[in-house]
A and B are shown apart, each in its own frame.
Chain A
Amino acid sequence: MNDLNEHVSEKFAKSRVIIGSLLATSLITIWSAIGDPFVVECWAQQDGILQSESIWTMERWSPYAVGILIGILSWISFLISDKPLGVSTAYARSAGMIEKTFRGSAVEEKAYYSKYVPRIGWEWMLVIGLIAGAFTSATLSGEFQFRYVPTLWEQTFGHTPLKRWLVALVGGTVMGMGARWADGCTSGHGISGTLQLVVSSWIALACFFVGGVAAAYMIY
């Protein structure tokens, strides 16, 4: 029994060392590639003059810092909520809730809504928090602005809101259907599933990008 315990703890010690060294390597790589991502003060070029800026008002953070922090956020989510980060279920539940206001509780008998009961739950609150978090970030950096047409779209297709609205509506509908069809989106499959090394999630992520790149090249 003691032998077994020792064997197990030895294995743990080993995995700890492996993780520690992998983390250290990645940090060093990032450090050397883009500079310290966690600096509190940062130098930004503005009108040809170097100015120091606080991280809270910076318009953008390094994508690596953001990615690592999202990874850590997923640890917290698994640990204290036993949930992977996922967004698209909330839209499905909302669709059910909206349908329920028109057609009553008969909606819950639909096969899909008995699987995903149209009720407010953890994922739904996650999306509410997400909107608030993005709002806070955009407000702090002075980025918040009501915009109907994104810059890239405007350069190619002009500033008519109706055209952009129609395309966004069509894209949203197709994406909403695809997210349920594939049972997850860029967060549920693309981050949470892939980090658990789920085969279907890696396939889904690849398909998301194949479809996305194809559609983007058709439009532009």
Chain B
Amino acid sequence: MLEKLRSRKKLQLVIGTLIGFCFGFLLQRGGVTRYDVIMGQLLLYDWTVAKIILSAIATGMLGVYYMKKRGLAHLHIKAGSVGATVVGGLIFGAGFGILGYCPGTMAGAVGQGSLDALLGGVLGMLLGAGLYAQIYPVLSKSILKAGDFGELTFPDLFRKRNTWTVVCCFFLGILLFLVVLETAGL
């Protein structure tokens, strides 16, 4: 039944829109579509962004690993390498800090009427993605391959037979971090 539902292309576009709607609603209501909140995080005085990301990870992880175990979900693991993940991540970060939105929250900012996101950020993002497609053939033969670590997850890395040990460690680690944040009054 699930396979059937997933293969219905038009219905999936509707589902995608609905999921996006909820995502956008939540991002806006969480405050992270605001430039001031994101810059507050990057200037380390407003930890809203970290709180949202970490509680989403903790919640999502439990459900997704549970569904995986029951055969209800597949993991979608992104391969990485030092050249792609670290270099690309730092470039992304620099742009993120200059712009003050990330791609998802920028779309949300457009929805709340922020014109700097629509006319500056979105336009730049399209330019950047287009430029990347232009230089991709060169990059893919060189830097993207440097220090390849493939499609790796932490349960694979620690070679634990019981994935749940790793899941629990991450969960408790996140919980501890959030408790420390709250205790510190951030």
List chain A positions with a Cβ less than 8 A from chain B.
Answer: 12, 15, 18-19, 22-23, 25-26, 29, 33-34, 58, 60-61, 63-64, 66-85, 87-88, 91-92, 94-96, 98-99, 110-113, 120-138, 141, 143-153, 161, 164-220
A26's nearest neighbour on chain B, judged by CB, is: B175
Q: Point out which of B69, B84, B149 has the most chain A C-beta atoms below 10 A from its C-beta.
A: B84
CA separation between A205 and B90, bound complex, in Å?
A: 10
The majority secondary structure among interface residues of chain A is: helix
- Give 7 nearest A-B pairs by CB, closest first: A211-B93, A172-B124, A176-B128, A200-B80, A129-B20, A215-B97, A71-B59
A-B contacts, 6 of them at CB < 8 A, read A74-B63, A122-B13, A134-B24, A173-B125, A209-B42, A218-B97
Q: Tell me, rounded to whole Å, the shortest Cβ–Cβ distance linking A198 to chain B.
A: 5
What is the 8 Å Cβ interface bit string for chain B, positions 100-129, against chain A (1 contact, 0 not)?
101111111111111111011111111111
A80 shortest CB reach to chain B, Å: 6
**Pairwise interchain contact A78-B64, C-beta atoms closer than 8 A:** yes
Instruction: Using A99-B130, A200-B149 as known contacts, say yes or no to A176 and B22 having CB atoms under 8 A apart.
Output: no
CA distance A208 to B104 in the complex (A): 14
Shortest beta-carbon distance from A55 to chain B in Å: 9
- Chain A CB within 8 A of B67 CB: yes
- Which residues from B are CB-within-8-Å of A186? 53, 96, 102-105
Q: In whole angstroms, how far apart are the Cα atoms of A218 and B6 in the complex?
A: 46
- What 0/1 pattern do residues 2 to 34 of B give for CB contact below 8 A with A? 100110000011111111111111111111011
Contact, CB under 8 Å: B25 / A87? no
Are B74 and A188 in contact (CB-based, < 8 A)?
no
Least CB separation from B125: chain A residue: A176
Chain A positions within 8 Å of B152 at CB level: 198-200
> Which of chain A's residues have a CB closer than 8 A to the CB of B103?
87-88, 91, 175-176, 179, 185-187
Contact A171 B95 (CB under 8 A): yes
- A215 and B91 contacting across the interface, CB-CB below 8 Å: no
Q: Choose from A72, A110, A168, A193 the contact partner of B120 (Cβ within 8 Å).
A: A168
Known: A169-B124, A182-B88, A204-B85. A133 touches B22 (CB 8 A): yes
A81-B43 in contact (CB<8A):
no
* Shortest Cβ distance from residue A84 to the other chain B in the assembled complex, whole angstroms: 5
